Structure 1
């Protein structure tokens, strides 16, 4: 009943067409583990590091067909998501415009000035220190800094950037990085004026729910956004007109489109059959078991390890037969630890902590309860009141109410209280709270074998065994109704219910993986994804109708991604400082097929597995028109119409 099996055989790490080293980058570790793949032979691609001197010939090779294009991608290794987006787009250019060639260039590193040219090393440092990153992000995301940086970079870097882009001799320039929009856009415009040859530039915003204001440099041929949230930011902050915006989704690898088509409806008979086939192909044990896919990468050994322990204990205690697949990436220490871990000891430690009134596997992680959760998020400042200075605006009180809420993270369920009952009375809590705060989702006991008690999702249990409507729960700061005040909220009052174990423990298998080159298939095999709030990972999960439990985010940069999942109703958020809360919620989903089906349907409606292909088709069609205009093959009148 307690085992850890060696990982299924993985193919060796494949080389990327853009082979810049990503060592030490926290976000890159996870995103590369999720998306790393080879797109083309190295002979057809130039690396960002291939330019060693101004004299070296770095021109992109000529296309081998008439429909081929020379594409210059602008990006930097500040997180694996930018590179992954460039790779997915490059693969689609090869597929839809055969004979295309391309290169990746970091203009800030090559031609930027201090401090911008230290961005990669600074990101590695700040990405591992969320509070420092939050300060950095919030300062740079102000209108004042945006104006100063824009002028500074254009004055100091535009000429060098212009020469650099011209040396590659591209047909089209595509930026997938916020710091490579304003200056390159001006440079491309000046190249057109200087040479008389039109050089179109496009921006593909690689964020989902929130984005830095540097993304929205006006003047590009077209700006591709992934969500309504980003579209609104582009219009309000960047003043980008509607006709310059195109919304297709976030570009992800073609593997996800292939698997999405093969699987169809995840919850259908055909979808289930495809899932079992993929599990067989991956060599997973116990094909019929529910499967949780856990990804952490650069999040560190501690939090990811604790989450896995909590999932194991919760599945075991609640009688859930399950596989836990853990993508460790470069974290060899965690992978080795999982293979050698004594799960009997983990269970015993869990019981010892429970008996002392703790909340989880390590008492230091679970002693704060509701109060500490609120304090943590006040400190992290999800959005704060940034309406005057930042790209995002929000009300602190409403944000905190979302953090403390259940259900859809909305205001209708802003308080989440433990269930307590009178003798001989059984009440089940509202199902599937979105935020687990250490005092929700108590495990209700059964009064008879095979008997299930279903709670009214619009009701909140009270001590007296009665209920009140959730819309009667007062706003934060208002007087609390007597029936809620009387509730016994001591640890002892609900820990007995919360830790009521199933009569038959679950059979749980933990599988540790290193780098994964078949992420689309692992997501098909999974029933739930547990991950940080990286935009690429969320988009991949949504494309395959996979419910998501988010556990962490970078302040500022990824906060909106949490809202994107919550508002889309295909997942939940629980901080990685509360591993047991994560495990409780995931267990509740695993035990409720109807809930999983609802989450899966919502995920599918928010995903677009073909986004990369649609973006490339739009870029390629316009770029080919400009190419023909530059060659005199199209009337000059079409030129003005194309603009």
Structure 2
């Protein structure tokens, strides 16, 4: 029975960083799609099992001797989503990654300069060399603890070092990169050595091909958005009643992304000063300062406004609205397209989101409005009864939208798992666990780190413990002789 459970559960590990909300949202979207796929597989398997009716009972009972009964059930999926920088990297890398949110909020031009200057091979390789010693051991600990059957990266910075760490283990663990930038795809997304690269647009695919990487490994499947955007929701009238909105006024949804950036406050002020006949739904994300500021000034606005912080019911908010004003975040753009919303871009993150503007404007699903006059003029055109701009952009949005993309991405990831009935990457044919293909020094380092995390602080901080932990630490570049000895040892054990 234990061997059966070993071969029917597959572990999928998503690597993210909570820089903004986009990476976790993408991981959650794919995870939810995989859970629905698993549910469908289980229902189909149950439906295929033959039923025999015994004479002694009118209740159908499953035949214990049928061939179909002997078939293995579909696998179950254990899904782990891990912020690798927060949980498994060391100072100063862990703290440096946290600067993303404040930088795009208070100094976006600086972030744009960093993006463009780092978007080349030499800089990426130099940054990887600097970051590797600060996260390599943590990745080894993560992989040996979770024991994934497939690893999926949804963040560009982690890809090069992850491939190196997986090679260090010596196990054939598939590694998949899911790109979450529509057009402006950074060099670090396409680290050579991944088993598959999933991209959202044709432009992203062409950037991949320019890198001279294997064309068979790139798959254009769309941007992962949550499956809840494909489900039916209540009518617009019912949703407006739920949120306390008037039925006779257009609803404008303003979203600033997970960090509440993108000129959100300026857009609200411009609409208020123009006294447009609209009502507002404003989502400030994790920007608590902006949320408090808008709450204080809401009573002085010349339009009705409902202010929200970070929300989990975005599909309802979008379906209750007529227009969305947002920064050029790729996730929000694709979610808006799935909800038939024309888009007004009020801001963007330089470098990273510049290409998203072209995506929206070139496909005629929205416009860029960086100043108050442009924004209010465009909004007037869209809310005008019988607006031709509104009809045209809604039609284009339906052509461009790929609401089921997460299911396609989920299916692609599942295709890399061991076949039904076969042992996982970390099990042998007899069901016994495989010894980690690491030297005794690596295993000792991991054990010491685990022990160190459970020690009382007064002991853990002692000079003796710190010195002992340091001597057991491993470098990211083990000597080749050590690797050969490690592989020879594992062959002898297996």
Asked whether the 8 Å contact 2:291–2:308 carries over to 1, the reply is no
Is residue 245 from structure 1 mapped to residue 218 from structure 2 by the alignment?
A: yes
Asked whether the 8 Å contact 2:262–2:348 carries over to 1, the reply is no
1:622 match: secondary structure: coil
Alignment partner, residue 182 of structure 1: 160
Alignment partner, residue 277 of structure 1: 238
Report the CA distance between 1:184 and its aligned residue. 1.0
Alignment partner, residue 73 of structure 2: none
User: Which of 209, 225, 233 is 1:235 aligned to?
Assistant: 209
Asked whether the 8 Å contact 1:208–1:535 carries over to 2, the reply is yes
Asked whether the 8 Å contact 2:104–2:261 carries over to 1, the reply is no
Asked whether the 8 Å contact 2:91–2:134 carries over to 1, the reply is no
Cα distance change of structure 1 residues 144 and 155 upon mapping to structure 2, 3 Å threshold: same
Cα distance change of structure 1 residues 168 and 342 upon mapping to structure 2, 3 Å threshold: closer
Render the CA deviation track for 1:481-505: whole Å, top value 9, x for unaligned. xxxxxxxxxxxxxxxxxxxxxxxxx
Alignment partner, residue 38 of structure 2: 97
Alignment partner, residue 270 of structure 2: 310
User: Which of 557, 561, 567 is 2:362 aligned to?
Assistant: 567
Alignment partner, residue 172 of structure 2: 198
Is residue 325 from structure 1 mapped to residue 303 from structure 2 by the alignment?
A: no
Render the CA deviation track for 1:464-516: whole Å, top value 9, x for unaligned. xxxxxxxxxxxxxxxxxxxxxxxxxxxxxxxxxxxxxxxxxxxx533323333
Q: Which has the higher helix share?
A: 2
Asked whether the 8 Å contact 2:346–2:369 carries over to 1, the reply is yes
Asked whether the 8 Å contact 1:530–1:550 carries over to 2, the reply is yes
Asked whether the 8 Å contact 1:335–1:513 carries over to 2, the reply is no
Asked whether the 8 Å contact 1:570–1:600 carries over to 2, the reply is yes
User: Which of 570, 588, 608 is 2:381 aligned to?
Assistant: 588
Instruction: Map 1:532-551 onto structure 2 (within 5 A).
Output: 532-551=327-346
Alignment partner, residue 79 of structure 1: 20
RMSD: 2.9
TM-score scaled by length of structure 1: 0.55
Is residue 555 from structure 1 mapped to residue 360 from structure 2 by the alignment?
A: no
Report the CA distance between 1:67 and its aligned residue. 5.1
Alignment partner, residue 171 of structure 1: 149
Cα distance change of structure 1 residues 309 and 246 upon mapping to structure 2, 3 Å threshold: same
Asked whether the 8 Å contact 1:67–1:97 carries over to 2, the reply is no
Instruction: Map 1:34-433 onto structure 2 (within 5 A).
Output: 68-97=9-38, 99-109=76-86, 112=89, 116-128=93-105, 129-153=107-131, 158=136, 160-191=138-169, 194=170, 197-237=171-211, 239-259=212-232, 274-280=235-241, 282-296=242-256, 303-314=263-274, 316=276, 320=277, 322-329=278-285, 330=288, 331-341=290-300, 343=302
Cα distance change of structure 1 residues 138 and 342 upon mapping to structure 2, 3 Å threshold: closer
Cα distance change of structure 1 residues 302 and 198 upon mapping to structure 2, 3 Å threshold: closer
State the alpha-carbon separation in 1 of the partners of residues 155 and 262 from structure 2: 31
Report the CA distance between 1:619 and its aligned residue. 0.7
State the alpha-carbon separation in 2 of the partners of residues 342 and 545 from structure 1: 28
Render the CA deviation track for 1:437-464: whole Å, top value 9, x for unaligned. xxxxxxxxxxxxxxxxxxxxxxxxxxxx
Report the CA distance between 1:215 and its aligned residue. 0.5
1:198 match: secondary structure: coil
Asked whether the 8 Å contact 2:200–2:221 carries over to 1, the reply is yes
State the alpha-carbon separation in 2 of the partners of residues 160 and 310 from structure 1: 48
Q: How many residues align?
A: 384
2:22 match: secondary structure: helix
Asked whether the 8 Å contact 2:22–2:258 carries over to 1, the reply is no
TM-score scaled by length of structure 2: 0.71
State the alpha-carbon separation in 1 of the partners of residues 298 and 6 from structure 2: 51
Cα distance change of structure 1 residues 300 and 244 upon mapping to structure 2, 3 Å threshold: closer
Report the CA distance between 1:574 and its aligned residue. 1.2
State the alpha-carbon separation in 2 of the partners of residues 537 and 230 from structure 1: 18
Report the CA distance between 1:549 and its aligned residue. 0.3
Asked whether the 8 Å contact 1:328–1:335 carries over to 2, the reply is no
Instruction: Map 1:521-536 onto structure 2 (within 5 A).
Output: 521-536=316-331
Instruction: Map 1:600-615 onto structure 2 (within 5 A).
Output: 600-615=394-409
State the alpha-carbon separation in 2 of the partners of residues 171 and 81 from structure 1: 24
Cα distance change of structure 1 residues 147 and 514 upon mapping to structure 2, 3 Å threshold: closer
2:419 match: secondary structure: helix
Report the CA distance between 1:302 and its aligned residue. 11
Cα distance change of structure 1 residues 584 and 560 upon mapping to structure 2, 3 Å threshold: same
Gaps of 5+ in 2: 40-75, 431-494
2:231 match: secondary structure: helix
Asked whether the 8 Å contact 1:73–1:173 carries over to 2, the reply is yes
Gaps of 5+ in 1: 1-61, 264-273, 344-507, 634-643
Report the CA distance between 1:109 and its aligned residue. 4.7
